[in-house]
Structure 1
C-alpha cells in the first residue's frame, strides 16, 4: 500500500486535535494548581503575621497589667522575740547560783548588768 502525501486524513486530524487539547488541559491544570498554591501560601503568611501581631498585643497588654498591679509587700519579718522580764532573768540567775553553777562574782556581775547598774 502506498502512502498518500499531503494533508492528513480525517483520522490524523482527529488524533492531532486530541493531542493538542490534552496538552492544553494538562498545562492549564498545572498553572491553576501552582496559582492556587501561591495564593494559599500568601494567605497562610498573612494569617501567621496576623497571629503574631495578636500575640504581641496580648503580651504587651499583659505586661501593662502586670506593671500596674501593686507589688505585694514582702512578708513581715518574724517578730523579734519579746524581751524577757528582768525579774524572770534574775530568778533564773538566782537558781543557777543556788545550784552552784555560778560563782558569787559571776552572779553579781550578771545581776548588775541586768539591772543596768
Structure 2
C-alpha cells in the first residue's frame, strides 16, 4: 500500500508543479506583451561594480626563519663588538630554547 500512496503523491505534486509553471509562464508572457504594447521596454540593469577582492590572509611566518633572522642579528652585534662571548652564548641559548 505504501508504494501506491507514494506514487499517488508524486503524481499530485507533478500535476501541481506543472500547473504553477504554466500559470507563471502565461503571466510573464502577458506582462511582456503589455510592456511591448505600451512601448516601455525593460532597460537592462546597469553593470554593478565588481566586489573588492577578499582580504589577503596574513603571511604565515615560519618560526625557523624568525630564529635564523634573530641569530643573524645576534652574530652581527657580536661582530660589531656590542656583545661579549658570554652574552652572545646566553642570547643564542635563549633563541634556540636551550
Instruction: Pick the TM interval, shorter chain.
Output: 0.3 to 0.5
TM-score (norm 2): 0.40
TM-score (norm 1): 0.33
Question: Higher helix fraction: Structure 1 or Structure 2?
Answer: 1
User: Which has more radius of gyration?
Assistant: 1
